Chain A
């Protein structure tokens, strides 16, 4: 069983309990305009340029057989991705890790070997592995095989998902997980489609269904994007919907930050996203207090 991931992060401490390893699945059916991990959207490998690491030596430009790379007058390397075949020659020749092919095909075995390294920390802290992305359910075979293998080894699994998957897949995998981190973006369907590219009917239905089926505990993750979902109406609607769900143990408010902007640039995809003004801490506090007043356990960050 193989699949496409774009990163494995150790000492992940914001995505579930304890000390964890995050497995970032590559590919996502949503296209949120504020995306923090834009390299997780495409299912395919992509060329990523890191100008801050670049020595402007031009080795990569000279090595490329397809004329996909060139240097601007200031020496910055730019890519014509339509010509790039992802052959990896430029990555090999670059001694500064300023070019990367993001996304690699890995087997469950390879992931397990890397994850196993941190078992002592899982055992001590009650941590485990978080499947995130991208969207893990967009590669359900890999996700399921990974969850099963981790469980066979006694390692806890958290599933970080947008909930946008067929009910059958979603329920099966969510039920197998020890914790679901469920991203809830905006309640208004039109707005949802406008900002994420998909409607939210399936998402809400899945959230309701997993709750009905007495699944694992759920932490709802709410990315707070000013002007998109921080209005009173949206907050009220969210609270109204969530208050009925007995599995929801916590709401994580994740304030928008500009961490993704640099990545849009590295991927050469600036135009596909929007840049927002991050919310003030006062605004974040007032949103958290709103949910607290409704009886939820609330935390800033994951």
Chain B
């Protein structure tokens, strides 16, 4: 890392997240203007976007090579009142909460008090959503049966393909004109809607060009004043770059990165998209520019690395938009989930790893930043050297990169109906979510609490926490003669809550498609322009909506315990079990010990438990997969938690696996924390029994102590462990390489461990920023250590 990058990195690490009122102000002003008020909804959004691109403050910091930022300063984080209008209490919470806080100044409070709240209260999408939801939905939501991703953030979750490396926005505008010219106003009842949408897109394209040119002007001004001849040249190059991209297709490595970055700023300014917008297959996209630069002598490896590192810093300067309430609980982190993909396959199916893949891995290792997150895609066709290089970074213990199975991802996407080429151009984003990059809207709609649904089943439709009846009366479990009867009741209850969730989803999908389209994002995701349809309205080539199952390990162990102790061994009756659970095992300590120690557990390659995991998995799959969404998409499942397993645990009472009330649930598809007692091969065998291909992503966390990976040989064996998992068609695996002792010490002395990054669940986070419960849980996850 050279001096410049060191400085930029330090600056980024030291910057404190703040709330910037700028976006809220510009957006509110724009919505007040008569021009916006009388426009169609897509046009409203285009005019608002234009106002943002023309008016928001810009700056170029000392030493920067890649320019443009979402807020007026590093980590100055905008708000999105049209989506979620924060109350003054929300702002106070953001300002003062101990974890993931954002400083809020008096000016912001005043603006919110006087302008933002009066205008948006009752009109923001969040208010509309809660007004539209049924009492059944609200009861389930409040009980913690499921969460709702779009209550505070706009649908997003897509990744860019290779389009911007081939087309400038002026080329894209030509595509828009062509699409407009083909509109059939005589026979197509949607022709006018399409016209409005396409014209809105064109305005957005022009707006980003304007935004880039403002940077070009600023760079020229700075260059004129600059004394240092070296920096002067750089600023002139920045000016020329911003003049050229994004209007035109990039010609070199630098322009390619800068173009992407402008698009990133545009997308994250248009909305607070959930999870992940990012360049995706960066080594594939940039390789032609890299190769050409080296061949022509216009680029050195050093320069390429410096530019990449400057690019990395930009991601780290943008914390996730602020979250409150349940959304903050389910995703309590500053990270905004950009996940750079390295390796994998070329569209024609050949090994895609190239020189740049290795260079990017060097960058990841040197930068050690929270954002962007990174992953390697490993196909059977990729060389071991790529995986080993990645594991050498994993060994340093900051949770990156995570490891994905390309061959599984391709199969998953093809099963969902993508062409094999589109599947190979895809990858994973967010935490672990498989997607076709550049042409799919794959939107996560919320987490689904499997153990809680079972708790409601055990209580015949009543939530014991509140005493309210929120589910179906599926029968008093004390009357069930067989385990099958219990499972049938569980299935009925689950179907009920899935239906409640989907009904809510369908309304929310329609609300966004109608009132808050995304014409800017639609420019970049095929086939929005060809169809004349918005990204929020089924414009993408592929449209997928996910409901993410949570607590598979917990529900499996719960079912295994009841099957084993109540029905097979008849150690206790259902009545006794219910009492023990109600009393949170007080007075039932021996029984709890039995549930923990002498009952079959998922994660130990024991079919008794693992078969139940498959049973629940299949049930969940059948209830969701293939159902249509209202804007032309399809529902699918995946299994990942971000941090919601902690929140879902808080709202779930004691469970039959020996878990006490309020403790976290298992995360992803990992076994319950500490219950995998036969080592990593048994874990892999157990989770490998699930049919990952039927999902759009599963998440497996493993923890290793550094000693096990110190030697080359240990690393090779880890490589073989991963390759074996991928032969079983596992989707993803990630590692924490840190000792429990270190983590305990970090809990006691957070000041000494500011930089300790751990893998949480599909992403990494600063350990000291994690909630206490989450910290405890990470410590409890089994440490695998050989002897």
The complex places the Cα of A10 from the Cα of B679 at a distance, in Å, of 7
User: Beyond A10-B678, A13-B717, A59-B590, is A120–B598 a contact (Cβ under 8 Å)?
Assistant: no
Are the C-beta atoms of B727 and A12 separated by less than 8 Å?
no
Are the C-beta atoms of A11 and B590 separated by less than 8 Å?
no
Kindly list chain B residues whose C-beta atoms are within 8 Å of the C-beta of A127: 720
Selected from B597, B605, B678, B724, the residue in CB contact (under 8 A) with A95 is: B597
Kindly list chain B residues whose C-beta atoms are within 8 Å of the C-beta of A118: 681, 685
Are the C-beta atoms of B721 and A117 separated by less than 8 Å?
no
Kindly list chain B residues whose C-beta atoms are within 8 Å of the C-beta of A117: 605, 681-682, 685
Kindly list chain A residues whose C-beta atoms are within 8 Å of the C-beta of B786: 11-14
Are the C-beta atoms of B720 and A121 separated by less than 8 Å?
yes
Kindly list chain B residues whose C-beta atoms are within 8 Å of the C-beta of A59: 590
User: Beyond A11-B679, A96-B597, is A125–B720 a contact (Cβ under 8 Å)?
Assistant: yes
Determine whether A248 belongs to the interface, using a CB cutoff of 8 Å to chain B: no
Q: Is the interface on chain A under 10, 10 to 19, 20 to 34, or 35 or more residues? A: 20 to 34
A95-125 CB contact bits vs B (8 Å, 1 = yes)?
1110000000000000000000110110111
The complex places the Cα of A117 from the Cα of B594 at a distance, in Å, of 26
Quote the shortest CB–CB distance from A15 to chain B (angstroms).
10
Interface set, chain A 1-59, CB cutoff 8 A to B: 9-14, 18-19, 55, 57, 59
Q: Is the interface on chain B under 10, 10 to 19, 20 to 34, or 35 or more residues? A: 20 to 34
Identify whether the interface residues of B are mostly helix, strand, loop, or mixed.
helix
Determine whether B728 belongs to the interface, using a CB cutoff of 8 Å to chain A: yes
The complex places the Cα of A195 from the Cα of B475 at a distance, in Å, of 68
Quote the shortest CB–CB distance from A97 to chain B (angstroms).
5
Interface set, chain A 237-273, CB cutoff 8 A to B: 259
Kindly list chain A residues whose C-beta atoms are within 8 Å of the C-beta of B717: 13, 18-19, 125
Kindly list chain A residues whose C-beta atoms are within 8 Å of the C-beta of B605: 117
Are the C-beta atoms of B680 and A11 separated by less than 8 Å?
yes
Determine whether B745 belongs to the interface, using a CB cutoff of 8 Å to chain A: no
Are the C-beta atoms of B724 and A55 separated by less than 8 Å?
no
Are the C-beta atoms of B787 and A121 separated by less than 8 Å?
no
Selected from A19, A55, A57, the residue in CB contact (under 8 A) with B681 is: A19
B590-612 CB contact bits vs A (8 Å, 1 = yes)?
11011001100000010000000
Determine whether B784 belongs to the interface, using a CB cutoff of 8 Å to chain A: yes
Interface set, chain B 721-757, CB cutoff 8 A to A: 721, 723-724, 727-728
Quote the shortest CB–CB distance from B284 to chain A (angstroms).
27
Kindly list chain A residues whose C-beta atoms are within 8 Å of the C-beta of B787: 14, 259
Using a Cβ cutoff of 8 Å, how many contacts connect chains A and B?
A: 69
Are the C-beta atoms of B590 and A95 separated by less than 8 Å?
yes
Are the C-beta atoms of A121 and B721 separated by less than 8 Å?
yes
Are the C-beta atoms of A97 and B598 separated by less than 8 Å?
yes
The complex places the Cα of A19 from the Cα of B713 at a distance, in Å, of 11
Kindly list chain B residues whose C-beta atoms are within 8 Å of the C-beta of A57: 589-590
Are the C-beta atoms of B724 and A120 separated by less than 8 Å?
yes
A111-146 CB contact bits vs B (8 Å, 1 = yes)?
000000110110111010000000000000000000
The complex places the Cα of A10 from the Cα of B680 at a distance, in Å, of 8
User: Beyond A13-B714, A57-B590, A95-B597, is A124–B724 a contact (Cβ under 8 Å)?
Assistant: yes
Q: Of residues B680, B708, B713, B724, which shows the largest number of chain A Cβ atoms within 10 Å of its Cβ?
A: B724
Kindly list chain B residues whose C-beta atoms are within 8 Å of the C-beta of A96: 593, 597
Quote the shortest CB–CB distance from A95 to chain B (angstroms).
3
User: Beyond A14-B786, A95-B597, is A120–B590 a contact (Cβ under 8 Å)?
Assistant: no
The complex places the Cα of A121 from the Cα of B604 at a distance, in Å, of 15
User: Beyond A12-B786, A121-B720, A124-B720, is A95–B594 a contact (Cβ under 8 Å)?
Assistant: yes
Kindly list chain A residues whose C-beta atoms are within 8 Å of the C-beta of B680: 11
The complex places the Cα of A10 from the Cα of B685 at a distance, in Å, of 11
Are the C-beta atoms of A124 and B679 separated by less than 8 Å?
no
Kindly list chain B residues whose C-beta atoms are within 8 Å of the C-beta of A259: 787
Contacts A11-B721, A13-B714, A18-B720 known; 19 new A-B pairs at CB < 8 A: A10-B678, A10-B681, A10-B682, A11-B680, A11-B682, A14-B787, A18-B717, A19-B681, A19-B717, A19-B724, A55-B589, A95-B590, A117-B605, A117-B682, A120-B727, A121-B681, A121-B721, A124-B724, A125-B724
What are the 10 closest A-B residue pairs judged by CB atoms, nearest first?
Answer: A95-B593, A125-B720, A11-B679, A95-B594, A124-B724, A11-B681, A124-B720, A10-B681, A10-B679, A13-B717
B residues at A contact (CB < 8 Å): 589-591, 593-594, 597-598, 605, 678-682, 685, 708, 713-714, 716-717, 720-721, 723-724, 727-728, 784, 786-787
A residues at B contact (CB < 8 Å): 9-14, 18-19, 55, 57, 59, 95-97, 117-118, 120-121, 123-125, 127, 259
Interface CB pairs A-B, < 8 A, 12: A10-B681, A11-B681, A12-B786, A18-B717, A19-B717, A57-B590, A95-B591, A95-B597, A117-B605, A117-B682, A117-B685, A125-B716
